[in-house]
A = this chain, B = another copy of it.
Amino acid sequence: MTELPDGFAAHVANVGVKDHTDDFVVITADRPVPAAGVFTRSRFVGPSVEISRSHLADRRARAIVIVSKNANVANGPTGTDDATELVDGVAGRLGCEPADVLVASTGVIGRRYPMDRIRAGIRAIPAAPHGRSADDAAAGIMTTDTVPKVAETTVAGSNARVVGIAKGVGMIEPDMATMIAVVCTDADVSPDELDTTFRAAVDRTFNCVSIDTDTSTSDTAVVLASGAAGPVDAHAFATALEQVCLDLTKMIALDGEGAETLIEVIVDGARDHRQAKRVAKSIVNSPLVKTAVHGADPNWGRVAMAVGKCSDDLDIDQDRVVIAFCGTEVYPTPVDDAALAALSDEMRSDVVPIHVSLGIGSGAATVYGCDLTDGYVRINADYTT
Contact = CB atoms under 8 A, between A and B. Distances in A.
A287 B385 contact: no
B214 A294 contact: no
A118 interface: no
Interface of A: 40-45, 71, 73-74, 76, 108-110, 170-171, 173, 175-176, 212-217, 285-288, 291-292, 294-295, 297-302, 304-311, 313-314, 316-319, 321, 331-332, 334, 340, 372-374, 376-385
Contacts of A176: 311
B212 A287 contact: yes
Contacts of A374: 374, 377-378
Contacts of A382: 295
B212 A175 contact: no
- Taken together, the copies of this chain in the complex come to 2
A340 B384 CA distance: 11
Given A214-B288, A311-B42, A305 B109 contact: yes
Nearest to A316: B43
Contacts of A286: 213-214
A304 B214 contact: no
Most chain B beta-carbon neighbours within 10 Å: one of A173, A292, A295, A300: A295
Given A288-B380, A380-B288, A43 B301 contact: no
B213 A301 contact: no
A291 B171 CA distance: 12
Contact of A74 (B76, B304, B378): B304
Contact of A110 (B40, B43, B331): B331
Question: Which 6 pairs between the two chains have the least Cβ-Cβ distance?
Answer: A109-B301, A44-B308, A295-B381, A291-B380, A41-B311, A42-B308
10 contacts: A73-B304, A74-B301, A76-B319, A109-B305, A110-B304, A214-B302, A217-B304, A287-B376, A291-B380, A297-B383
Contacts of A297: 381, 383-385
Given A297-B384, A300-B110, A380-B288, A307 B76 contact: no
A303 to B, nearest CB: 9
A44 B385 contact: no
A330 to B, nearest CB: 9
Contacts of A291: 376-377, 379-381
A211 to B, nearest CB: 9
Contact of A301 (B45, B108, B287, B373): B108
A385 B340 contact: yes
A310 to B, nearest CB: 6
A307 B44 contact: yes
Contacts of A373: 377, 381
Nearest to A340: B385
A221 B219 CA distance: 41
Contacts of A306: 214
B43 A216 contact: no
Contact of A214 (B73, B171, B287): B287
